[in-house]
Chains A and B, each alone.
Chain A
């Protein structure tokens, strides 16, 4: 209970309270827990049943999860009355025992040990062989590392109990694994929501430090939008996406904007994951980077231009049309051409990026992604 919550009470008073009640804890604990326990059996400090009637209300235990090992503490309960029962979000934690607090500061703005998660952000938390989904409903100050791990979250004592963590009057600390559960809802599962894939890393890197190669192709934020019915080439070389274009098209344009101006190198970009930003690209690797950005190719795809002769379906698409042959591949995206030229194209455009002019398409196989 090193992390204290702004909605809970006074700092450091938990430790003092622990000393005060230490002699009485064992005898009083059973009595007090009977008051706090809604289900009657769910707050035993010992090992709790993994599922079923013994679980505290609202906590659903799951299988062991993978994830990131972090330092955690617990708070609340009979041995830690100073923490109170109302989280800084205003939630009554006794009624919502599947709760955790993000540590790092005294305010919501400064308690950002996990990047400053919004309230109600679900996390899968695993301790030993038990795992549960918990929701952020509180914040706390935190403290130094635990077993060399950054101290990032405080577990509400009933949640900790269900995970099998021994109740130590709010003084337990140790490592747990945390992971984001998959996003839910049709829009996210189908990959069509604007927020799909944009959840930031939990800890370890700030947004500014984050490797753009790890997530940027998924992001659509920052892509200029035009009210025109075709993509527009901007003065800075980037493309603006039509506002009514499907999400996949906007994502592809976002991915293209990431690598505009990269130097052309035959074979460049191949051998790397498509999520990476390569120092150079050739025609096929650059086209594949965009297709990956739109969720149309797996991250490890790396075929040459000839392989794209069989991509998707034959013929031009409504939004995306590829022109491929064994020597070259380029495509039109919402009316704008994405192409690569080693040097000095004969249509006045050069380099890797968006081109406003069309080029001859003789000798190319015409394909398009299904549905686009």
Chain B
């Protein structure tokens, strides 16, 4: 158990001790008037003892740079940055994109930034990707903030022939946006499908 978790658990013990005293008083008061013993949700400590699990504290809130005025604009900006890069810029591009997004989208591009930073093959091949966002459409059946994004992309390489002759291809991604504040939209989930 980490020191942080110990401190957290100790705090919860104190809090629950106070709560237990209050509950005891409540039980005594109820007993006097013939009522049933009140049902309480198990305290965090009791729950922890039973399950051996200590709930994590909620993560800190995320803020995104450069929110867009509407959902479509946020997605177009994100998608355009996601598909236009070269081997030398991709890691920085993904880091920048992480700062402009939240949630799973931020985690995904942060991971991409980390992986591409050390991707020797990517750099040695001189691989680049470019494309345009062709369509952004809402997914009516999947909540009002989910969209399908269609892009037309080309992948090229200056130092390998592997991509030579391949035509631009259609690609599809699913995006979810969040209105961080009124009129400030950011991408919160990004899942390329192909």
Residues of A within 8 A of B (CB): 59-63, 122, 124, 132-133, 135, 181-195, 244-248, 295, 316, 318-319, 347, 357-362, 366, 369-372
Q: Is the CB of B166 within 8 A of A358?
A: no
Asked whether any CB of chain A lies closer than 8 Å to the CB of B113, the reply is: yes
Q: Is the CB of B165 within 8 A of A133?
A: yes
Q: Give CA–CA (A347, B52) in the complex, Å.
A: 9
> B46: shortest Cβ distance to chain A, in Å?
16
Q: Mark B6-35, 1 if CB is under 8 A from A, else 0.
A: 000000000000000000000000000000
> A161: shortest Cβ distance to chain B, in Å?
16
Please tell me which one of the listed residues A316, A366, A372 contacts residue B111 in the complex, with CB atoms under 8 A apart: A372
Q: Is the CB of A60 within 8 A of B155?
A: no
Q: Is the CB of A194 within 8 A of B192?
A: yes
Interface CB pairs A-B, < 8 A, 15: A133-B164, A184-B155, A185-B169, A187-B194, A188-B171, A189-B122, A246-B108, A247-B191, A295-B115, A357-B52, A358-B53, A358-B54, A360-B1, A370-B111, A371-B115
Known: A133-B165, A248-B111, A357-B53. A194 touches B155 (CB 8 A): no
Neighbouring A residues of B131 by C-beta, 8 Å:
185-186
> A186-B151, A244-B104, A366-B2 provided; 4 other pairs, C-beta below 8 A?
A133-B165, A185-B192, A190-B116, A371-B114
Q: Is the CB of A246 within 8 A of B107?
A: yes
Residue of A nearest to B117 (CB): A370
Q: Is the CB of A192 within 8 A of B1?
A: no
Neighbouring B residues of A244 by C-beta, 8 Å:
103-104, 189
> B123: shortest Cβ distance to chain A, in Å?
13
Q: Is the CB of A187 within 8 A of B2?
A: no
Residue of A nearest to B128 (CB): A189
Q: Which bucket holds chain B's interface residue count?
A: 35 or more
Please tell me which one of the listed residues A62, A195, A358, A372 contacts residue B194 in the complex, with CB atoms under 8 A apart: A195
Please tell me which one of the listed residues B110, B151, B192, B193 contacts residue A371 in the complex, with CB atoms under 8 A apart: B110
Neighbouring B residues of A61 by C-beta, 8 Å:
165
Known: A62-B165, A132-B165, A247-B191. A371 touches B111 (CB 8 A): yes
Please tell me which one of the listed residues A60, A183, A195, A359 contacts residue B193 in the complex, with CB atoms under 8 A apart: A195
Residue of A nearest to B53 (CB): A358
9 shortest A-B CB distances, which residue pairs?
A187-B192, A371-B111, A133-B165, A184-B155, A370-B114, A60-B165, A62-B164, A193-B192, A371-B110
Please tell me which one of the listed residues B94, B104, B115, B194 contacts residue A194 in the complex, with CB atoms under 8 A apart: B194
Q: Is the CB of B85 within 8 A of A186?
A: yes
Q: Is the CB of A185 within 8 A of B194?
A: yes
Asked whether any CB of chain A lies closer than 8 Å to the CB of B179, the reply is: no
Please tell me which one of the listed residues A182, A318, A361 contacts residue B1 in the complex, with CB atoms under 8 A apart: A361
Known: A372-B107, A372-B111. A188 touches B192 (CB 8 A): yes
Q: Give CA–CA (A100, B114) in the complex, Å.
A: 40
Neighbouring B residues of A60 by C-beta, 8 Å:
164-165
Residue of B nearest to A360 (CB): B1
Neighbouring B residues of A181 by C-beta, 8 Å:
162-163, 165-166
Please tell me which one of the listed residues A63, A135, A186 contacts residue B83 in the complex, with CB atoms under 8 A apart: A186
Neighbouring A residues of B171 by C-beta, 8 Å:
185-188, 193
Q: Give CA–CA (A188, B127) in the complex, Å.
A: 12
Please tell me which one of the listed residues A133, A246, A295, A369 contacts residue B166 in the complex, with CB atoms under 8 A apart: A133
Q: Mark B81-121, 1 if CB is under 8 A from A, else 0.
A: 01101000010001000000001100110111111100000
Asked whether any CB of chain A lies closer than 8 Å to the CB of B154, the reply is: yes
Neighbouring A residues of B111 by C-beta, 8 Å:
192, 246, 248, 369-372
Please tell me which one of the listed residues A133, A190, A359 contacts residue B115 in the complex, with CB atoms under 8 A apart: A190
Asked whether any CB of chain A lies closer than 8 Å to the CB of B180, the reply is: no
Which of A183, A316, A371, A372 has the most B CB atoms < 10 Å from its CB? A371
Q: Mark B162-179, 1 if CB is under 8 A from A, else 0.
A: 111111010101000000
